[in-house]
Structure formats: structure tokens, C-alpha cells
């Protein structure tokens, strides 16, 4: 499969999110698990059934054609009700509203072309689309274009292309939501070229519908693009879920830990409470066992991610020395 740009839309009464994710070769080992992990950690209401685990989903897709990447928009039908889907050469638009809010919204998944001629066609097509409907708009994805010189590092900047991008935004009264934590969203495979290609452009009436609008940049992990999350407000999801690492299953003795933890007596007498308390016992025993066998994996993983993030941010600033790229690549491998 070629490039796949997925938009994951989330809503509940306290939090709405749109996750923009650009993945090349989605079927490659590791990438599916990474996206599945994103769905688990970010709790989106929208994901492919195989990724998220329930069937009440609806999706719209545009297949890849040649070098033009495919696009996918998937949503939870209990959270977002779509009434229209429009596809163009370089975008896929879904119109609908979040359950409980009732405001008409159009989400446009954009995957920009490379050549100048096609870029002009894309801006024209998006102009026509936005002129045809009065709605709240959010355009997101890989626009394959930048808006100013500082959006690139060690890459060629085309002033005329950037000007057309900015003129498009001005014509349609679109506002770019600022990104927190990172300057760039795309890094070349060799770690030498940086660009801000992925972004969210929203209309004024969309901003009025969402409170505390912000974008978080996640670690790019298995992609050359960083996932972006457009957030509405903050929600405390409570305690972390019961989780288990695949690596534990390869360790001798884990089955004994689980069995012994399950056998422990619990005070509850209601069946559902007994089940809950038995899981708590297993969780506690597994936590103690994993610290003895592996150390604190969460802390170790967090440290390794921070080291990789340090080198990546240093590379963004253009201050890597001759030997630094080797340390950077090694940290990502770890």
C-alpha cells in the first residue's frame, strides 16, 4: 500500500479529538501494532474495527492511485453522525455532526500532491468545495507544502508555492492551530531534512464550537511523519488500564504468577466484584514480578523515548555534530 493518511475523530461530552496520522506501508510489521497502540493510549472513538475492537464504525476511503496515497476517514457511529462524503483527487471530506452537539461540521482529509500543476488543482478544488457549503470546517493532513521559510530545514523553500498556500487560507478565512512541542512534523529517513507538512486549518465557527483548542505532536515512531492530535479540552480518564507486555509471555514462570494471583482469596461476594478483585490481585503480582525480572519497564521505556526525543529536537535546531547522528539513530533503535 502507498501512503495512508488516517483521521481519527473522537468525541464525548468533555473531550473531542481529531488524530491526523500519515503512514507509509501500513502493512509493514510493527506499524499496525503502533497504530493500534495509539488507539489504545489516546482512546479515540474512531478506528478500524481491527484496531479498536468494536464493530459500530463507519468509514470512507479513497484508494491509492500510482504515487498518490490512499486516504481513510473512520468514525464511531455512536459519536459522530455523517450525512455526506465528498472525494476529490487530493482530499476526502466528511460532513456530519457530533452526537449531543448538533453543529454541522465538515472534516477534510488532505493529502497534497508533489508537482506544482497538481498543487494548483488542489487549491482550486478546495476553494470550490468550501464556497459550496456554509459549515464549520477543519482541514487536516499532509498538505505537502509549507507556509513560510522557517517551516523547512535543509530543504528547498519555494516562495511562490508558499504564497499560494497562504492566499488559499486567507480567501477561506482559515486559521492554523498552533503546534505544541515541535517545529517540524516530517523528517527524512536519513534524518537530515525537516519540514512542517502536516497541520490543522480551521474556520472561525469551528473554533467557536470547540473549547481550549490545541494540538499535541506525538512521537513519529514507525513513520517519517509525526501524528498530530487536535484536542478540545482536557479529560482525566482515571487509573491506567491493566496492561501486559508481549515480552512477558516469553518469560518462564509468568503462568505460575498469574495462577497464584488468581487463587488468592478476595473479600467480595458479588460475582462482578469478585472478578474485579481477582484481576487486581493478578495485576499486583504481575507488577511485582515484572520489576524483579525486567526492572521498571515503564520508566525504562520513558527514558529511552526521552533520549530519542532529545536527539530529534537537537536535529531540528540544526546543531548536530559529526558523531551525533549515530547516537540519534541508536537511540531510536533502542
- pLDDT per position as a tens digit, 69-128: 678 788 878 888 999 999 888 999 999 988 877 789 999 999 999 899 999 999 999 999
Chain mean position to CA 4: 12
Superfamily name with CATH number, domain 3-232: Endonuclease/exonuclease/phosphatase (3.60.10.10)
pLDDT of 50 reads 41
Report residue 28's pLDDT band, with 50, 70 and 90 as the boundaries: low
C-alpha cell at 7: 483521521
pLDDT of 32 reads 54
Whole-angstrom distance, CA of residue 117 vs CA of residue 175:
25
pLDDT of 37 reads 57
Whole-angstrom distance, CA of residue 181 vs CA of residue 189:
21
Tell me the pLDDT of the chain averaged across its residues: 79
pLDDT of 29 reads 53
β-pair type (213-217, 179-180): parallel
Structure-model confidence comparison of residues 173 and 316, the more confident one: 173
Mean pLDDT, rounded, for 295-317: 79
Of the ranges 7-21, 36-50, 71-85, 155-169, which is most confident?
155-169
Q: Residue 20: beta bridge partners?
A: 7, 228
**pTM given for the model:** 0.65
Whole-angstrom distance, CA of residue 18 vs CA of residue 20:
6
Identify whether the C-beta of residue 34 lies closer than 8 Å to the C-beta of residue 222. Answer: yes
Whole-angstrom distance, CA of residue 139 vs CA of residue 54:
27
pLDDT at 40 over 60: no
Cβ atoms within 10 Å of 70's Cβ, excluding its own: 18
Mean pLDDT, rounded, for 158-174: 95
- From 85, 297, 107, select the one nearest 203 (Cα to Cα): 107
Q: In the chain, where are the structural domains located?
A: 3-232, 246-294, 297-333
Q: Which residue blocks in the chain are alpha helix, DSSP H?
A: 31-42, 49-52, 116-132, 159-171, 204-209, 254-263, 271-294, 297-316, 324-333
Whole-angstrom distance, CA of residue 68 vs CA of residue 112:
9
pLDDT in tens, 176-207: 988 877 888 898 888 888 999 999 999 988 88
Give 105: exposed, middle or buried? Use CB within 10 Å, 0-12, 13-18, 19+.
buried
pLDDT of 326 reads 80
Q: Collapse the DSSP code of 246 into the 3-class scheme (helix H, G, I; strand E, B; otherwise coil) and give the result.
A: helix
Amino acid at each position: 500500500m502507498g501512503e495512508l493518511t488516517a483521521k481519527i475523530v473522537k468525541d464525548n461530552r468533555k473531550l473531542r479529538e481529531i488524530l491526523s496520522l500519515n503512514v507509509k506501508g501500513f502493512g509493514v510489521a510493527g506499524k499496525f501494532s503502533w497504530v493500534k497502540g495509539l488507539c489504545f493510549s489516546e482512546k479515540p472513538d474512531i478506528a478500524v474495527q481491527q484496531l479498536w475492537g468494536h464493530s459500530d464504525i463507519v468509514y470512507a476511503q479513497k484508494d491509492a492511485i500510482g504515487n498518490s496515497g490512499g486516504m481513510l476517514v473512520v468514525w464511531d457511529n455512536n459519536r459522530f453522525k455523517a450525512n455526506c462524503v465528498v472525494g476529490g483527487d487530493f482530499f476526502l471530506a466528511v460532513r456530519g455532526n457530533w452526537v449531543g452537539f448538533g453543529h454541522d461540521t465538515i472534516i477534510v482529509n488532505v493529502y497534497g500532491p508533489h508537482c506544482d500543476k497538481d498543487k494548483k488543482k488542489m487549491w482550486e478544488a478546495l476553494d470550490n468545495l468550501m464556497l459550496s457549503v456554509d459549515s464549520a470546517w477543519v482541514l487536516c493532513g499532509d498538505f505537502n507544502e509549507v507556509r513560510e521559510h522557517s517551516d523547512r530545514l535543509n530543504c528547498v523553500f519555494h516562495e511562490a508555492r508558499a504564497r499560494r498556500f497562504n492566499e488559499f487560507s486567507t480567501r477561506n478565512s482559515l486559521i492554523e492551530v498552533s503546534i505544541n512541542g515541535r517545529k517540524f512534523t516530517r523528517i527524512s529517513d536519513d534524518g537530515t531534512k525537516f519540514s512542517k507538512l502536516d497541520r490543522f486549518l480551521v474556520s472561525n465557527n469551528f473554533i467557536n464550537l470547540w473549547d481550549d483548542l490545541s494540538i499535541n505532536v506525538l512521537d513519529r515512531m514507525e513513520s517519517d511523519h509525526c501524528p498530530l492530535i487536535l484536542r478540545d479540552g482536557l479529560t482525566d480518564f482515571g487509573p491506567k488500564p491493566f496492561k501486559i507486555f508481549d515480552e512477558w509471555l516469553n518469560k518462564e514462570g509468568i503462568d505460575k504468577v498469574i495462577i497464584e494471583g488468581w487463587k488468592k482469596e478476595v473479600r467480595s461476594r458479588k460475582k462482578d466484584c469478585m472478578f474485579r478483585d481477582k484481576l487486581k490481585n493478578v495485576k499486583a503480582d504481575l507488577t511485582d514480578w515484572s520489576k524483579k525480572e525486567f526492572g521498571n519497564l515503564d520508566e525504562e521505556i520513558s527514558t529511552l523515548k526521552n533520549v530519542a526525543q532529545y536527539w530529534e529536537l537537537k536535529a531540528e535546531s540544526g546543531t548536530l555534530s559529526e558523531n551525533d547522528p549515530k547516537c540519534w539513530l541508536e537511540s531510536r533503535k533502542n
